[in-house]
């Protein structure tokens, strides 16, 4: 239940080179789908991410970009 991979419109992409490991995205994600990696940066579980964009809005160094999902047939 709760898988969002088929209907999500936007997908947050983390630039781990820009990430300063502040974990704001991890704290603010309402779905709890931001994962902490061993190097201190983060990645996102796209199986459950809803594409709400809160993580991108909270990232102060703009290390998260929302990109439109492809293949959904929408514009």
Residues 47 and 24: their CA atoms lie apart, in Å, by 21
**Which of 23/69 has CB closer to ligand SF4?**
23
Task: Give the number of residues written for the chain.
Answer: 75
Q: How many residues bind ligand SF4 (CB under 6 A)?
A: 27
Interface with ligand SF4 (CB under 6 A), residue from 23, 43, 65, 69 = 23
Residue 14, CA distances (Å) to 1, 37, 68, 73, 74 in order: 25, 12, 14, 24, 23
Binding site for ligand SF4 (CB under 6 A): 12, 14, 19-25, 29, 31, 33-34, 42, 44, 49-55, 58-59, 61, 63-64
């Amino acid at each position: 239940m709760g898988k969002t991979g088929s209907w999500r419109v936007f997908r947050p992409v983390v630039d781990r080179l820009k990430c300063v490991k502040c974990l704001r995205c991890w704290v603010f994600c309402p779905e709890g789908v931001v994962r902490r990696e061993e190097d201190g940066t983060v990645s996102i579980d796209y199986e459950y991410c809803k594409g709400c964009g809160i993580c991108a809005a909270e990232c102060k160094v703009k290390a998260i970009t929302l990109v439109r999902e492809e293949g959904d047939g929408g514009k």
